[in-house]
Structure 1
Amino acid sequence: MKIIRIVPLLATLPWAHSQAIEVAPGDYEPLPAGADAVALYYQHAERKALYADGDRVSDNARLKSDVGILRYIHAVGLAENLVWEPQVLLPFGYLNASGDVGALGDTHGIGDPILAAPLKWTLPTTHGDIFSLAPYLFVPVGSYDKDDALNLGENRWRATLQAAYIHRFTPRLALDTVAEASWVSSNNDFGPAGVKLEEDTRYEYQMALRYALTEKTSVALGGGYVTGAATTVDGVDQHNRLSTSYGRLTVSHFIEPTLQVQAQLGQDFEVEEGFKERARLNLRILKVF
């Protein structure tokens, strides 16, 4: 069966968009200079359909993930209109495969810590548009075992650069756009044989239209597209270039001026390679102090 041939190759695919820095609407709004923030994220995602070369090869390839991220941010004012926000993110979680891909098993542990340092400029436009450049570095110290098909750590360095622009049509209506490129070093200890895994540059584009219903509550509708990230294993092309589009609906609410909760629903629309998310729930609580 075709599915049997594909299962060993699934470990070469980024799982659950984990190597991306998916941006929630409003994430690139600058914090006040001197402020600190702590955020706790929870993501639950379910996948059932599996694709290869654009064809659905299984309707029972089940992969569930429960992932958390703890994030700390400190805002430094560099100029009247420029804020630098060095931060650290620590992912952790659990993955479980079943059905036709049950051979992948399950795993839990810590993901690769992420260091980031976004620069955010407030522009002299009518409503104060925002432009940002944000480098991210994934440090390969997360949970990894070459004998496991699923891992939360990558066992390789990853560098990501995001460019973001927030255009404010009015004080209440804004469009968030983010373009991203991600590069990785080789994993020289991949699979039971400990061979070399290489990956092409990964690209992602995200956008969301955001509207403030009140001073405390906003809603946003958006989505994104992921491409690239084709891999070779021991010099053999895996023919698994990503091409995935997805949608997101987000609601954010300030319980008090420095405490925000956020909920997001989403799913994949089209998938060329790998698992298709049929449902995703993202939750976040953010405290500024």
Structure 2
Amino acid sequence: MKMTQILGAGAVALALAALPARAIDVGPADYTILPSGTALAMLYLQHLSADSLEVNGTAVPGSSFEANVGILRGLYYTAFGDLPAAYHLVIPFADIDRARIGGADQPASSGLGDTTLGLTVWPVQPKTPETGTSFGVSLFATLPTGNYNPERLGIGEGTWSLTPQIGVIQGLGGGFFFDGALDVAFQGDHREAGAEHSRSPSWQLQAMLRKQWGPATSLTVGYSGQRGGKQKVAGAETGLKTHRDQLRLYLTHFIDPTTQIQGLLARDFNVEGGYKYDSAVQLRLVKVF
């Protein structure tokens, strides 16, 4: 079996959980409850760079990866029964500049990724945001709308996935906040060229400590840990899985009351069964309507 087939469409999705294939990334203050009728238009621009790949616990020499990823995301805040709620729409796309395994360049597919639809409700709302608790429950469904080819690396998964998630914001006082989220992703099996492709459930834990300087500016240090997600093709494990530990640094600022810019620097420090990203850079633009 070709290494391209073994890696399959999961190569980029293993890279960064912001892609909605299995895990749903959460940034600082993302579980904030906004007034009903508020809409957000968001654009993410990411650059990913890796100089190493591990398969079955062994580093594959001469392997590297580089890609530019964009994500369009919309949120609409409303009510679900008596609870505050928000609807999500996430559409990723990517241009893969380099995908090298064992010194050999691999064929890659760029273009549209899989679309994610989501709903969040907040059963717990803070009475005082500075020291109170926000607790939300989300469900995301990812549809196989992306550019998928089992013979090429890409960002389409070729199947659906469901990802329930819980998120919390805890005010600590003095302008400090804890932001956290936990999710688990379930992906459907699919058959390609006569071979069954499957992935075990994977989960992600995200934890952030945020310092807020007034309503406009914040600095956040965060951690993301992913586990599970073992891949099988025709019943045989490929050696790839979703096992990644990543440190993150966010800087967020409102340019004006309805326009926000956010920068993210991230770096993997422990990866098993995938590319290890020495650099993940993201710029996020948000417009409030």
Shorter-chain TM-score above 0.5: yes
Q: Could you list the runs of 5+ residues in structure 2 that have no partner in the other structure?
A: none
Question: 2: CA distance between counterparts of 1:262 and 1:175?
Answer: 18
Question: 1: CA distance between counterparts of 2:275 and 2:42?
Answer: 28
2:118 counterpart of 1:116: yes
2:150 counterpart of 1:146: yes
Question: 1: CA distance between counterparts of 2:177 and 2:68?
Answer: 31
The answer on whether the counterparts of 2:6 and 2:233 sit within 8 Å (CA) in structure 1 is no
Deviation at 1:22, TM superposition (A): 1.2
Question: 2: CA distance between counterparts of 1:7 and 1:196?
Answer: 16
2:134 counterpart of 1:135: no
Q: Within 5 Å, give how 1:1-289 maps onto structure 2.
A: 8-11=5-8, 13=10, 14-17=13-16, 18=19, 19=21, 20-58=23-61, 60-78=62-80, 82-95=83-96, 96-98=98-100, 100=102, 102-120=104-122, 121-124=124-127, 127-148=131-152, 150-170=153-173, 172-189=175-192, 193-289=193-289
Q: Could you list the runs of 5+ residues in structure 1 that have no partner in the other structure?
A: none
Question: 2: CA distance between counterparts of 1:12 and 1:111?
Answer: 10
Deviation at 1:101, TM superposition (A): 5.3
Question: 1: CA distance between counterparts of 2:52 and 2:167?
Answer: 32
Question: 2: CA distance between counterparts of 1:184 and 1:218?
Answer: 35
Question: 1: CA distance between counterparts of 2:9 and 2:40?
Answer: 35
Deviation at 1:8, TM superposition (A): 4.5
Q: Secondary structure of the residue that 2:28 maps to in structure 1?
A: coil
Q: Secondary structure of the residue that 2:7 maps to in structure 1?
A: helix
Question: 2: CA distance between counterparts of 1:282 and 1:8?
Answer: 29
Q: Which whole-Å deviations, capped at 9, do the CAs of 1:35-65 have from their partners, x for residues lacking one?
A: 111001111110111112333232x311111
Change (3 A) 1:200 1:211: same
Question: 2: CA distance between counterparts of 1:185 and 1:101?
Answer: 32
Q: Which whole-Å deviations, capped at 9, do the CAs of 1:221-258 have from their partners, x for residues lacking one?
A: 01111110011111222343432110000000000111
The answer on whether the counterparts of 1:44 and 1:67 sit within 8 Å (CA) in structure 2 is yes
Q: Percent identity?
A: 28
Q: Secondary structure of the residue that 1:286 maps to in structure 2?
A: strand
More displaced, 163-172 or 133-142?
163-172
The answer on whether the counterparts of 1:54 and 1:271 sit within 8 Å (CA) in structure 2 is no
The alignment's TM-score, normalised by the length of structure 1, stands at 0.90
Question: 1: CA distance between counterparts of 2:274 and 2:182?
Answer: 22
The answer on whether the counterparts of 1:7 and 1:101 sit within 8 Å (CA) in structure 2 is no
The alignment's TM-score, normalised by the length of structure 2, stands at 0.90
Tell me the matched-pair count: 280
Runs of 4+ in 1 over 6 A off after TM superposition: none
Bigger relative CO (Cα 8 Å, ≥ 6 apart): 2
Question: 1: CA distance between counterparts of 2:2 and 2:158?
Answer: 24
